[in-house]
Chain A
């Protein structure tokens, strides 16, 4: 009962009140729509209170709103650990900034006689609610870690249900007390807006950003000179401050960069297992290079290169091998049961053709989509490749090393024995030398 009162009734009442009363106040008492700045009465304290408070609260509210508006996007972003750490860290930092600013504002309001003269009870209530709210927020962030992440999947749906007019307080009824109070505080805050100086939220002076600067120029010569002297002194102070900031910033930056550079050039400090991992992957690469070199050497030295047994060849899935020019080639089993060797180097731009044969007996070069007929080697009309893939000559040898069959220069097959079981497929160095 109390839950539906606080988490369903209160929100609607608060928002309705906020809208209706704000509109009413705007229509009946337009000039009260302001922050009622007391800067004129006291500015030193205000500077240290108002700026940190506003910077902090604007960023924190923006974060809250972003998570409520884009829960899925934020959830996926926040699932990255560094992002979550940065967001939560920044959130707590800005909350602390808020509290610091608020404390300054409260002290000022309670100690400065001039400000006291214009302070209403409502001002004090607003300050108290804000302070409580921010402190609660920090407490939630500290006690129930990673609220940015879990809020997207619990609080965002709750708010969404309210917006959809299908309120579902079950998302929040089981929340810890701290979180519940923080939520109730938010609704109270919204209800307070039209009755306090908080209405200034609705009158952001955005036009100030684009407005031309207003210069006050004295027409009285004596005053003008004095103003100029002040200006010069001020600009000197600014210069000293700027120079100090630049130098100290530069030193900090330099130290950071030097540190990183030193680490870069020192090289990584690897654990034994990491070192082993690096070493293994390098060995792997060296081995494959060695294999490659061995292939090259083999091709320089031997007259025949074995590709595999005849039984190993398949008509649908090619077997890659490297020809005498170190170019890729594919070995298939032809329809006649004989080997079918075809270059796999695309005649268009030299990519390696894929090894799978399509249902209509074609292989594909994936680079620019050229289909080649395996049996003839000819490319499809309209393919980027125009020349056919050449077929390679082969010989079949039995286990004794005697040639039992070979592909003739004209593409025909010459069999010397009928029984081809257990024979292996070879490519030959040069056609003349095989004979």
Chain B
């Protein structure tokens, strides 16, 4: 294929996904309509994710005013925020609860858009950017987990990073050193320490937000450009205006969710879910305390890793990631019914492994 034809094809592809003729207020806002059918609730999930992201940005910026990313001061500054700063405990707690809520919404959003086949042409890029945003959200979770520099944070991060090195066992010859070099590059030094904290901090508060802003912009812009996907097989006759009807409803949901988030954050410290010794400052010379676990949204890969051979999980996860990115092309011809079945199966797996992971682990390990 000649270069010019390739360029032409790419240009056509992009032009179709970003139709210039539609880039105006009338078609992106005034005329946009939202179909009304029994899956309509799923249209709120993306907006809800956005809402939690906004909450994260605001509370995150507030925490930045007091947080100090050094090995000696990180935990002390977090303590200072929760114990002395007026409203600090609330802000930090909202940040923690909202992060979990955001990831929950991202996952639900992904599953429903999959089940509704919202990735059909011309929305492939919306899907792909969404999947990358999901990975970024996990990145946020992983890097943010380390910042309080307490026992569970540092030890879980160690374990998480160590599993990169496991890959080396399956690589031949000189290649087997690569994962170790990669881990050390991420860590910044031989073991998790100040360099790691600095890097994770930079990634958490600058690199990832910038990446998300860019991608999220494209994601939202495309959604407005192409409108809501029809979501069900038969084009629903009933529709409502995006502006103002759907938007007001969306904002109402945001309001209610904010109230719930606020009350939960006020009453339930996020850390109350693990034993106190895990919240103590990290002690590099002591033994690792019991109960080191990643955040719940990593359970779907954590428990299989505990139970099955590493290479299997590694393979499945990588294949899964690639399949996820290529969904719009792989499932182009699949019916919504099949997609829904797949999504439900995935949801069942996620719920079971997240809620009962520990019991399953104990049952199979016979402890």
Given A264-B91, A350-B162, A366-B287, are A274 and B62 also a contact pair (CB < 8 Å)? no
In the assembly, what is the distance between CA of A354 and CA of B365, in Å?
A: 21
Q: Which of B75, B91, B190, B367 contacts A326 (CB 8 A)?
A: B190
A/B pair count, beta carbons within 8 Å: 83
Q: Contact mask A360-373 → B, CB, 8 Å, 1/0?
A: 00000111110000
Q: Does B173 reach chain A (CB closer than 8 Å)?
A: no
Q: Which of A278, A322, A367 contacts B84 (CB 8 A)?
A: A278
A326: B residues at CB distance < 8 A: 190-191
A267: B residues at CB distance < 8 A: 85
A369 touches B367 (CB 8 A): yes
Given A265-B65, A366-B289, are A288 and B87 also a contact pair (CB < 8 Å)? no
Which of the segments A140-148, A279-287, A403-411 contacts the partner chain? Answer: A279-287
Q: Does B184 reach chain A (CB closer than 8 Å)?
A: no
State how many angstroms separate the Cβ of B44 from the closest Cβ of chain A: 23
Q: Does A223 reach chain B (CB closer than 8 Å)?
A: no
B292 touches A268 (CB 8 A): no
Q: Which of B72, B80, B158, B162 contacts A288 (CB 8 A)?
A: B72
B288 touches A285 (CB 8 A): no
B72 touches A344 (CB 8 A): no
Which of the segments B18-26, B108-116, B128-136, B278-286 contacts the partner chain? Answer: B278-286
State how many angstroms separate the Cβ of A316 from the closest Cβ of chain B: 15
Q: Contact mask A249-274 → B, CB, 8 Å, 1/0?
A: 00000000000100111111010001
For A, the interface residue count at a CB cutoff of 8 angstroms equals 37
Q: Does A328 reach chain B (CB closer than 8 Å)?
A: yes
State how many angstroms separate the Cβ of B282 from the closest Cβ of chain A: 10
Q: Does A12 reach chain B (CB closer than 8 Å)?
A: no
A351 touches B292 (CB 8 A): yes
Q: Which of A282, A286, A325, A355 contacts B190 (CB 8 A)?
A: A325
A350 touches B159 (CB 8 A): yes
A288: B residues at CB distance < 8 A: 72
B287 touches A353 (CB 8 A): yes
A320 touches B286 (CB 8 A): yes
A263 touches B72 (CB 8 A): no
| Residue of B73, B86, B88, B287 with most chain A CB atoms under a 10 A cut-off | B287
CB-contacts of A366-423 with B (<8 A): 366-369, 384
Q: Does B79 reach chain A (CB closer than 8 Å)?
A: yes
Q: CB-nearest residue of chain A relative to B66? A: A267
A327 touches B87 (CB 8 A): no
Instruction: Please classify the interface of chain B as helix (H, G, I), strand (E, B), loop, or mixed, using the class held by over half of its residues.
Output: loop
Q: CB-nearest residue of chain A relative to B283? A: A288
B158 touches A349 (CB 8 A): yes
B85: A residues at CB distance < 8 A: 264, 267-268
Q: Does A38 reach chain B (CB closer than 8 Å)?
A: no
B76: A residues at CB distance < 8 A: 278, 281-282, 285
For B, the interface residue count at a CB cutoff of 8 angstroms equals 34
| Residue of A322, A350, A384 with most chain B CB atoms under a 10 A cut-off | A350
A266: B residues at CB distance < 8 A: 86
B84: A residues at CB distance < 8 A: 268, 270, 274, 278
Q: Which of B86, B285, B292 contacts A367 (CB 8 A)?
A: B292
B98: A residues at CB distance < 8 A: none
Q: Does B27 reach chain A (CB closer than 8 Å)?
A: no
In the assembly, what is the distance between CA of A263 and CA of B84, in Å?
A: 11
State how many angstroms separate the Cβ of A262 from the closest Cβ of chain B: 9
A368 touches B287 (CB 8 A): no
CB-contacts of B125-170 with A (<8 A): 155, 158-159, 162-163
A264 touches B62 (CB 8 A): yes
A282 touches B73 (CB 8 A): yes
A320 touches B285 (CB 8 A): yes
Q: Does A352 reach chain B (CB closer than 8 Å)?
A: yes
Q: Contact mask B236-257 → A, CB, 8 Å, 1/0?
A: 0000000000000000000000
State how many angstroms separate the Cβ of A369 from the closest Cβ of chain B: 7
CB-contacts of B258-291 with A (<8 A): 281, 284-290
Q: Does A39 reach chain B (CB closer than 8 Å)?
A: no
In the assembly, what is the distance between CA of A94 and CA of B306, in Å?
A: 55
Q: Does B71 reach chain A (CB closer than 8 Å)?
A: yes
In the assembly, what is the distance between CA of A292 and CA of B282, in Å?
A: 12
Q: CB-nearest residue of chain A relative to B79? A: A281
Q: CB-nearest residue of chain B relative to A274? A: B84
State how many angstroms separate the Cβ of B251 from the closest Cβ of chain A: 13
Q: Which of A327, A328, A366, A384 contacts B290 (CB 8 A)?
A: A366
State how many angstroms separate the Cβ of A321 from the closest Cβ of chain B: 8
A285: B residues at CB distance < 8 A: 72-73, 75-76, 281
Q: Does A248 reach chain B (CB closer than 8 Å)?
A: no
In the assembly, what is the distance between CA of A267 and CA of B150, in Å?
A: 24
B79 touches A349 (CB 8 A): no
A260: B residues at CB distance < 8 A: 86-87
A358: B residues at CB distance < 8 A: none
B159 touches A349 (CB 8 A): yes
B306: A residues at CB distance < 8 A: 368, 384
In the assembly, what is the distance between CA of A322 and CA of B190, in Å?
A: 14
Q: CB-nearest residue of chain A relative to B281? A: A285
Q: Does A235 reach chain B (CB closer than 8 Å)?
A: no
Q: Does A107 reach chain B (CB closer than 8 Å)?
A: no
A278: B residues at CB distance < 8 A: 76, 80, 84
B288 touches A268 (CB 8 A): no
B87 touches A292 (CB 8 A): no
In the assembly, what is the distance between CA of A390 and CA of B80, in Å?
A: 41
State how many angstroms separate the Cβ of B87 from the closest Cβ of chain A: 5
CB-contacts of A270-325 with B (<8 A): 270, 274, 278, 281-282, 285-286, 288-289, 292, 320, 322, 325
B190 touches A354 (CB 8 A): no
In the assembly, what is the distance between CA of A368 and CA of B293, in Å?
A: 11
B284: A residues at CB distance < 8 A: 292, 328
Q: CB-nearest residue of chain A relative to B365? A: A369
Q: CB-nearest residue of chain A relative to B367? A: A369
B286 touches A352 (CB 8 A): yes
A322: B residues at CB distance < 8 A: 285
Q: CB-nearest residue of chain A relative to B191? A: A326
Q: CB-nearest residue of chain B relative to A264? A: B87
Q: Which of A282, A355, A367 contacts B159 (CB 8 A)?
A: A367
B88: A residues at CB distance < 8 A: 264
State how many angstroms separate the Cβ of A77 from the closest Cβ of chain B: 12
State how many angstroms separate the Cβ of B64 from the closest Cβ of chain A: 12
Q: CB-nearest residue of chain A relative to B85? A: A268
Besides the contacts A285-B76, A285-B281, A328-B284, what 7 more A-B pairs have beta carbons closer than 8 Å? A260-B86, A268-B84, A270-B84, A328-B285, A367-B155, A369-B365, A369-B367
Residue pairs across A and B with Cβ atoms less than 8 A apart, 21 shown, are A263-B86, A266-B86, A268-B86, A270-B84, A282-B76, A285-B73, A285-B75, A286-B73, A289-B71, A320-B286, A325-B190, A326-B191, A344-B287, A349-B163, A351-B292, A354-B287, A365-B288, A367-B155, A367-B290, A367-B292, A369-B365
10 closest pairs, A vs B, by CB? A289-B72, A263-B86, A351-B288, A268-B84, A349-B159, A350-B162, A352-B287, A352-B288, A285-B72, A349-B162
